[in-house]
Amino acid sequence: MVTDTVRRYGNAPFKVAVIHGGPGAPGSIAPVAREISSDRGVLEPIQTADSLDGQVEELRIQLETYADLPVALIGHSWGAMLSYIFAARNPEFVSKIIMIGSAVYEKRYADGIQETRLSRLDEAEREEARALLGSLSDPGAQGEDEIMARVGHLLGKTDAYDPLDLPPDTEALECEHDVNVKVWGDAKVLRESGELLEMGKRIRCPVVAIHGDHDPHPAEGVRKPLSAVLRDFRFYLLANCGHEPWIEKQARDEFFEILRRELHD
């Protein structure tokens, strides 16, 4: 259990917040917060609620308590979608959304993501991943958090294009399988009903998406749907880049250049 649910980087005012992925992968975007905090204050809220509505309300309280509103939200993967939903419901809190490797906004783009990832593993890893994923779908399974962490490790290898040789990540907290299942289940209902896209019409601030061309989440599943509903939307596609641009040898510099430029606009 996380006791301090907001990490702070740099100095006040805190007008930027990074929103982690998962759901249930707290701490995963800490490297981005640390990198951009040299000239600004950055918050890293940790989401612990086990429902979508709960995470939106939790984030509202965290920002209301610690941020200098309105803030720029930098969301990665699920965190990008959470930032989008949050801004639709709380437009006065958000000055800009920057999505990194966002989840997709229509179901038809999501159907092949898992198979794309599995196809990039060797045979032994693919068999292990399928077995672990099967365990996670078993209601009687034990040790789901550890299984989810191992799946994340295997599939994370397939998400990268040309990653830096980095030391083990010591900032990510424990994976939370129960949070992942419940929150993502809520989000899928919104996506499949079409309500998720309708929310975009209520977003007042500029939205920027940064996506890698090797990301298994198809770029068109972000660009096309959001272009149709957002009033102010820009999309950057990074070459030779996977799901986490900050770890990519060939894309990291361009990624942070875009990120800093968008934060200064």
Q: How far apart are CA 18 and CA 81, in angstroms?
A: 12
Q: What is the mean pLDDT of residues 172-192?
A: 75
**Residue 2 pLDDT > 50:** no
What three-state secondary structure class fits 196?
helix
Exposure b/e, 35-58, CB count within 10 A at least 16 = b: bbbeebbbbbbbbbbbebebbbeb
Q: How far apart are CA 59 and CA 26, in angstroms?
A: 13
What three-state secondary structure class fits 71?
strand
List pLDDT tens digits, range 65-83. 999 999 999 999 999 999 9
Q: Which residue has the higher pLDDT, 256 or 171?
A: 256
Q: For the chain, what is the radius of gyration of the CA atoms?
A: 17
Domain ranges (residues) in the chain: 6-264
List pLDDT tens digits, range 202-218. 999 999 999 999 999 99
First and final C-alpha spacing in the chain: 37
**Residue 21 pLDDT > 90:** no
What three-state secondary structure class fits 21?
coil
- pLDDT at 183 (0 to 100): 84
Q: Is 188 exposed, middle or buried (0-12, 13-18, 19+ CB in 10 A)?
A: middle
Q: What is the CATH number of domain 6-264?
A: 3.40.50.1820
